[in-house]
Chains A and B, each alone.
Chain A
Amino acid sequence: MTSDGIGDFGPLRGMVVLDMTAALAGAFSTMLLADMGAEVIKIESLQHYPAPSRGPRNPPRGTAAGAVSAARDYPDNDPGEDPWNRLSWFNSHSRNKRNATMDITRPAGKELFLRLIEKADGFVENNAAGLLEKLGLGPDLLLERNPRLIIVRMPPLGSTGPDANATGFGWHFEELAGFLEVQGYPDGQTVGSIFMDGSSGPAGASAFLMALLERRRTGRGAVIEVAQVENMIVHIGDLVMDAVMNDRVPAREGNRSPAYAPQGVYPCLEPDSWLALSVRSAAEWDALRATLGDPVELRDPALADAAERHRRHDDIDRVISAWTATVTKHDAFHALQGAGVPAGPVMDEADASADPQLHERGFFHFLEHRRAGMHFHPGANFRLTATPAQIVRAAPVVGQDNEYVYRELLGVDDDEYAALARDGHIGSEYQ
């Protein structure tokens, strides 16, 4: 550990986790572990530009639509000379993590990696099924070098089965998991979701922690497989139960609920501003009516019954919309919540960034990044009151922790360090 504070707090203080993740899913898992105090070290190769993690090497610039859309992910809309160091996509999850470079496709890099494996408690990767084996770094070899190692592998479809090698983007896997058919507008338009990476992150982190608890007893590491699509299916287990119980495809209900009525989003006073609400009980129904000023259309006592509210949902929606059109989403939110109705504004990034609840809870952290500057970063996703997360350092630039990793963890001397730099293992520029 060094004085920067990484790995010097939390329940995982002293644990080293190597990170060979791509894009978001695995990186989300290691972020959760880093926020518990694990010293997470992402390993990159300067010879293999990691576009899924660090974005386009030469992002389009100028005023074309593609360029404008890409620029939003860089400070002041400027990708700069080293866009890979300035990308929000990568920097958002890499605070609290280290970064070291080595080319594991060459024998010398492979041996360096195995020496690091010997020092590690965990290793997380979410590459295509079989990539480690192709690199000659299969789990058997890793466990031979370190029997206490916990290996977390996150192939989208698992490592076995007829379609284990199928590839795709999030959209493909969400279709395979049955998500998209059951979400979207009820009149037939499906809507893309972005959920799989969000569900995979906690899965990989929890799986690591379970194996760590087991290791306390057995002294042995483990190989974990998070088949991301299967984990995601567990998150719609209630809809699967509908298919099982009723031999049907669950209805695509849009914003409505089979249980609660009314439920939906309603347009508020300002342009493209919306309020979401649900009514789960007769008490919440009464609270909604009272907040709306007891509209005459909603006075029918039969509406105390949820089934009746379901039947007259469209009519009820019109009355709610007439009210929401006269108030801001935030005023409507506080009025309804104050009366006991679950309701909330549809919030964008500007709303969230100014939100009093998040600020009072200390969710945001002001961090200075070497190449991106000072910004607020979202903090930990949970609060461990006795061993709190510390958000100690912004995302590293490429190779930022090479000195520490090579000299302190691996005990590399000056001559070897210089040789490894000459050979392109150690460095801060992609080749």
Chain B
Amino acid sequence: MKTEQVTGGAGATAARLPLEGVRVVDLSQGVAGPFCARLLADYGATAVKVESPAGDESRRAGPFPGDEPDPECSGLFLHLNTNKRGIVVDSRAPAGVDVVRRLVAAADVVVESARPADVAGTGLEPAALLAGREDLVVTSVTPFGQDGPYRDYRMTEIVAFAMGGPMNSSGSPDREPVKLAGNAVQMQSGATALTATLGALFHAQSTGRGQHVDVATYETQNGSLDRRRYYLLSYQYSGYVTQRAHKVGAGRIAVGGRFPTRDGRMITTGAVWPTHLPRMVSVLGDEELSARFAERGEELIVAQPELVNAAIASWAASRDARAAMREAQSAGWPVVVVNDPKTLLTDEHLVARGFWVEGESPMGPVPHTGAPWKVDGGGWALRAPAPRLGQHTDEVLRETGFDDAAIAGLRAEGVVL
């Protein structure tokens, strides 16, 4: 695998990154807030992640090596917190609140995810963080937002998709609705929070005026274009309510779908559209199919789906997946290889593009996902692995103006770890 060797620590890349100089304090936990802060850091911001003594809840979520829970090895935490330094502060103690407020005093952006009820009156609620800091951007990424009747309700990935996304139409009509893979919904919420944060940061840099950015995962999903936003307007237009309309496996179409290939992989044709039909018939080169297609045209799909599927299956079985994809694609028939999270790591296209980046981890150097987008061909770097719990507490406190005696005192009182 072609990877770029990146070791922990700053300065691994010479080129200037777009957000260099932006200072982020990440008070959030879970998925959405940390993903937002991670993306800021990926593109050059310096980020300090503040955890409670119990650690970010994603440390307990896994996946873990060997399925053995270990807060330093959670795949979710490691993915969401690269490029950050970590400090542990118990903000239930007044001295802890003071530490956090001093960190925030040196920040341009704060990302937080607390339930409004949990921080009200603590000195760490968004209004208190903004007080006296006219240029600060505070981004709250919470389940339902800062106000409204659900503001203190809780959310997990499945609840986010159930309430905000098109879960009602995901799955088979004869079965229960089913969620999306992993934590994709909450990450999309974090990505939306990034957009909003950058807009507020641009305003702050242009005018000197910061603000509170209120991102509700619930609204990021109801407003997402894939596809609740569109469905909501369709409902306004015609009263149409989406359903789990297509039996899984049968699909919307009689022909096409996944087919095994010679190398033990799979390809998928997706739906075969009328425009693709002649191209498909020509690629398959099956005499009987060609003759029937010449007679019956598009109608063949409905009339004899088993004939078409058999021809695709036999064609696929005599080829390797990637070769089948390229043969079909070069003829204008959209066929692709089926990937999974493991085959992605050796996917020829991704590897040739240098998408995977090797980075340090508690398991040693391992491949990490690369840049979600590139600015002038770069702009993104994996500079440091996710922090161990409290890994940078002393270093960050010293930079924030605490002397060694003060740090020792805070440690003795259990205010920092």
Q: Is B408 an interface residue (CB 8 A)?
A: no
Residues from chain B with Cβ under 8 Å of A276 in the complex: 158-159, 161-163, 167, 179
Chain A residue with minimal CB distance to B158?
A276
Do B171 and A360 touch across chains, with their CB atoms under 8 A apart? no
Q: Mark B218-255, 1 if CB is under 8 A from A, else 0.
A: 11101111111111111111101111000011000000
* The one of A191, A236, A259 that contacts B184, using a Cβ cutoff of 8 Å: A236
Q: Is A414 an interface residue (CB 8 A)?
A: no
* The one of A11, A178, A193, A274 that contacts B162, using a Cβ cutoff of 8 Å: A274
Among the listed stretches B6-14, B72-80, B89-97, B389-397, which one makes contact with chain A, having 4 or more residues with CB under 8 Å of it?
A: B72-80
Do A31 and B341 touch across chains, with their CB atoms under 8 A apart? no
Do B75 and A241 touch across chains, with their CB atoms under 8 A apart? yes
Closest 5 CB pairs of A and B: A241-B75, A198-B226, A72-B240, A386-B211, A11-B203
Do B195 and A246 touch across chains, with their CB atoms under 8 A apart? no
Residues from chain A with Cβ under 8 Å of B101 in the complex: none
Do B336 and A175 touch across chains, with their CB atoms under 8 A apart? yes
Do A249 and B340 touch across chains, with their CB atoms under 8 A apart? yes
Among the listed stretches B287-295, B300-308, B362-370, which one makes contact with chain A, having 4 or more residues with CB under 8 Å of it?
A: B362-370
Do B212 and A385 touch across chains, with their CB atoms under 8 A apart? yes
Q: Distance (Å) between the CB of B371 and the closest chain A CB?
A: 7
Do B238 and A206 touch across chains, with their CB atoms under 8 A apart? no
Contact A353 B162, CB 8 Å, known A89-B230, A199-B191, A246-B66: no
Highest count of chain A CB atoms <10 Å: which of B67, B159, B191, B234:
B159
Q: Mark A249-290, 1 if CB is under 8 A from B, else 0.
A: 110001101111001110100001011111010000000000
Q: Is A248 an interface residue (CB 8 A)?
A: yes
Do A236 and B237 touch across chains, with their CB atoms under 8 A apart? no
Considering only residues 56-75 of chain A, those with a C-beta below 8 Å from chain B are 71-75
Q: Is B205 an interface residue (CB 8 A)?
A: yes
Do B213 and A383 touch across chains, with their CB atoms under 8 A apart? yes
Q: Is A184 an interface residue (CB 8 A)?
A: yes
Number of A interface residues, CB 8 Å?
151
Chain A residue with minimal CB distance to B181?
A183
Do A350 and B202 touch across chains, with their CB atoms under 8 A apart? no
Contact A73 B79, CB 8 Å, known A181-B338, A202-B194, A245-B73: no
Q: Mark A218-258, 1 if CB is under 8 A from B, else 0.
A: 00001111110011011111111111111111100011011
Considering only residues 29-65 of chain B, those with a C-beta below 8 Å from chain A are 39, 43, 57, 60-65
- Interface size class on chain B is 35 or more
Q: Distance (Å) between the CB of A72 and the closest chain B CB?
A: 3
Among the listed stretches A106-114, A165-173, A402-410, A417-425, which one makes contact with chain B, having 4 or more residues with CB under 8 Å of it?
A: A165-173
Do B238 and A74 touch across chains, with their CB atoms under 8 A apart? yes
Q: Is A357 an interface residue (CB 8 A)?
A: yes
Secondary structure of the B side of the interface? mixed
Do B163 and A92 touch across chains, with their CB atoms under 8 A apart? no
Residues from chain B with Cβ under 8 Å of A206 in the complex: 39, 191, 194-195, 198, 373
Contact A381 B344, CB 8 Å, known A199-B191, A241-B76: no
Measured in the bound complex, the distance between the Cα atoms of B176 and A193 in whole Å is 15
Q: Is B105 an interface residue (CB 8 A)?
A: no
* The one of A161, A177, A250, A349 that contacts B232, using a Cβ cutoff of 8 Å: A349
Q: Is B177 an interface residue (CB 8 A)?
A: yes
Do B172 and A243 touch across chains, with their CB atoms under 8 A apart? no
Considering only residues 17-38 of chain A, those with a C-beta below 8 Å from chain B are 24-25, 27-28, 31-32, 36
Chain B residue with minimal CB distance to A245?
B65
Contact A349 B180, CB 8 Å, known A231-B373, A361-B145: no
Measured in the bound complex, the distance between the Cα atoms of B157 and A32 in whole Å is 23
Measured in the bound complex, the distance between the Cα atoms of B200 and A36 in whole Å is 9
Do B196 and A384 touch across chains, with their CB atoms under 8 A apart? yes
Do B162 and A71 touch across chains, with their CB atoms under 8 A apart? no
Residues from chain B with Cβ under 8 Å of A236 in the complex: 181-184, 341
Measured in the bound complex, the distance between the Cα atoms of B341 and A273 in whole Å is 32
Q: Is B148 an interface residue (CB 8 A)?
A: yes
Do A234 and B222 touch across chains, with their CB atoms under 8 A apart? no
Instruction: Please list 15 pairs of residues, one from A and one from B, whose beta carbons are closer than 8 Å in the complex, sorted by A's number.
Output: A28-B225, A168-B270, A169-B270, A197-B225, A203-B372, A249-B340, A249-B342, A250-B182, A337-B150, A352-B232, A361-B147, A376-B236, A381-B223, A383-B216, A387-B199
* The one of A75, A196, A203 that contacts B191, using a Cβ cutoff of 8 Å: A203
Do A352 and B373 touch across chains, with their CB atoms under 8 A apart? no
Residues from chain A with Cβ under 8 Å of B183 in the complex: 236, 238
Contact A168 B334, CB 8 Å, known A27-B225, A210-B375: yes
Do A226 and B238 touch across chains, with their CB atoms under 8 A apart? no
Q: Distance (Å) between the CB of B362 and the closest chain A CB?
A: 10
Residues from chain A with Cβ under 8 Å of B237 in the complex: 72-76, 88, 372, 375
Do A11 and B147 touch across chains, with their CB atoms under 8 A apart? no
12 extra interface residue pairs, beta carbon distance < 8 Å, beyond A225-B377, A276-B163, A386-B209 = A72-B238, A89-B230, A163-B348, A181-B341, A199-B191, A209-B195, A223-B377, A237-B368, A238-B79, A247-B342, A346-B177, A349-B231
Contact A24 B225, CB 8 Å, known A278-B158, A349-B235: yes
Do B75 and A238 touch across chains, with their CB atoms under 8 A apart? yes
Among the listed stretches B310-318, B349-357, B399-407, B409-417, which one makes contact with chain A, having 4 or more residues with CB under 8 Å of it?
A: B349-357
User: Footprint of A on B, CB under 8 Å?
Assistant: 18-19, 39, 43, 57, 60-67, 73, 75-76, 78-80, 144-145, 147-150, 153-164, 166-172, 175-184, 187-188, 191-196, 198-203, 205-206, 209-216, 218-220, 222-238, 240-243, 248-249, 268, 270-271, 325-326, 329, 332, 334-345, 347-350, 352-353, 355, 363, 366-377, 379
Do B352 and A31 touch across chains, with their CB atoms under 8 A apart? no
Residues from chain A with Cβ under 8 Å of B178 in the complex: 183-185, 191, 254-255, 265
Chain A residue with minimal CB distance to B186?
A235
* The one of B60, B149, B268, B377 that contacts A357, using a Cβ cutoff of 8 Å: B149
Chain B residue with minimal CB distance to A366?
B236
Q: Distance (Å) between the CB of B161 and the closest chain A CB?
A: 8
Residues from chain B with Cβ under 8 Å of A383 in the complex: 145, 196, 213-216
Measured in the bound complex, the distance between the Cα atoms of B42 and A183 in whole Å is 28
Residues from chain B with Cβ under 8 Å of A173 in the complex: 336
Q: Is A147 an interface residue (CB 8 A)?
A: no
Q: Is A399 an interface residue (CB 8 A)?
A: no
* The one of B76, B162, B270, B370 that contacts A346, using a Cβ cutoff of 8 Å: B162
Do A241 and B63 touch across chains, with their CB atoms under 8 A apart? yes
Residues from chain A with Cβ under 8 Å of B172 in the complex: 185, 189, 191
Do B184 and A378 touch across chains, with their CB atoms under 8 A apart? no
Q: Is A302 an interface residue (CB 8 A)?
A: no
* The one of A27, A225, A337, A381 that contacts B224, using a Cβ cutoff of 8 Å: A381
Measured in the bound complex, the distance between the Cα atoms of B115 and A90 in whole Å is 35
Residues from chain B with Cβ under 8 Å of A247 in the complex: 342
Contact A382 B181, CB 8 Å, known A241-B75, A352-B222: no
Chain B residue with minimal CB distance to A266?
B176
Do B199 and A11 touch across chains, with their CB atoms under 8 A apart? yes
Do A245 and B75 touch across chains, with their CB atoms under 8 A apart? yes
Residues from chain A with Cβ under 8 Å of B325 in the complex: 163, 166
Q: Is A298 an interface residue (CB 8 A)?
A: no
Residues from chain A with Cβ under 8 Å of B375 in the complex: 207, 210-211, 214, 222, 224
Do B223 and A380 touch across chains, with their CB atoms under 8 A apart? yes
Q: Is A216 an interface residue (CB 8 A)?
A: yes
Q: Is A301 an interface residue (CB 8 A)?
A: no
Do B338 and A180 touch across chains, with their CB atoms under 8 A apart? yes
Measured in the bound complex, the distance between the Cα atoms of B337 and A181 in whole Å is 12
Measured in the bound complex, the distance between the Cα atoms of B154 and A263 in whole Å is 14
Residues from chain A with Cβ under 8 Å of B326 in the complex: 162-163
Contact A163 B195, CB 8 Å, known A182-B341, A222-B376, A259-B60: no
Do A342 and B366 touch across chains, with their CB atoms under 8 A apart? no
